[in-house]
Amino acid sequence: MKVAKKGGRAKSSKMVTVLCSICGMDMDCPESMLSAERHFCERCTDLLAEGYKPEELKMDKKSLAKYFRRCDDIAEELLDLTFYGFWKKMKDKEISKEELAREFYIHGASSMLGFLISTGMPPPFLDDLEEAIREGKRGMVK
């Protein structure tokens, strides 16, 4: 909790979680700013400053649907860029199909998480994800 000095006395500025008016992600907002009509997270504020339009930053299913059509094309381009170098290292190894599938899964998942971080996902999310996975594994053992 931040404490601001005002008139010689400390004033408490309580933070409240609200949704960003553009992308819908959770964000912290000082209680004193709750009366504002719209709230913008740091990511959206930065992207608006770079010239993006609010409609380009929306994260709802309807606005994202137009980008999903491009995923196959981009995946093909990523395949051309990254797959063959990895395959060159793996093809001469004597490993089972399961081991090969595990290697490719790990490579893909690692790339995906790195991509998410590069697009603005807070790196501490990895700690939360790791803890959620541990909890899931504990639930599977029972």
pLDDT over 50 at 2, yes or no: no
The predicted pLDDT at position 142 comes to 60
pLDDT band at 5 (very low <50, low <70, confident <90, very high): very low
Mean pLDDT of the chain: 78
Strand, coil or helix: what is 41?
A: coil
The predicted pLDDT at position 9 comes to 47
- Asked if residues 33 and 39 have their Cβ atoms less than 8 Å apart, the reply is yes
pLDDT over 50 at 107, yes or no: yes
User: What are the residue ranges spanned by the domains of the chain?
Assistant: 12-59, 70-142
Strand, coil or helix: what is 12?
A: strand
Distance CA 92, CA 86 (A): 11
pLDDT over 70 at 11, yes or no: no
pLDDT tens for 19-45 read 888 888 888 888 877 777 888 888 888
pLDDT over 50 at 97, yes or no: yes
pLDDT band at 1 (very low <50, low <70, confident <90, very high): very low
Distance CA 19, CA 37 (A): 12
The predicted pLDDT at position 61 comes to 67
pLDDT over 50 at 131, yes or no: yes
Model's pTM, two decimal places? 0.42
Q: Tokens for 61?
A: 């299913």
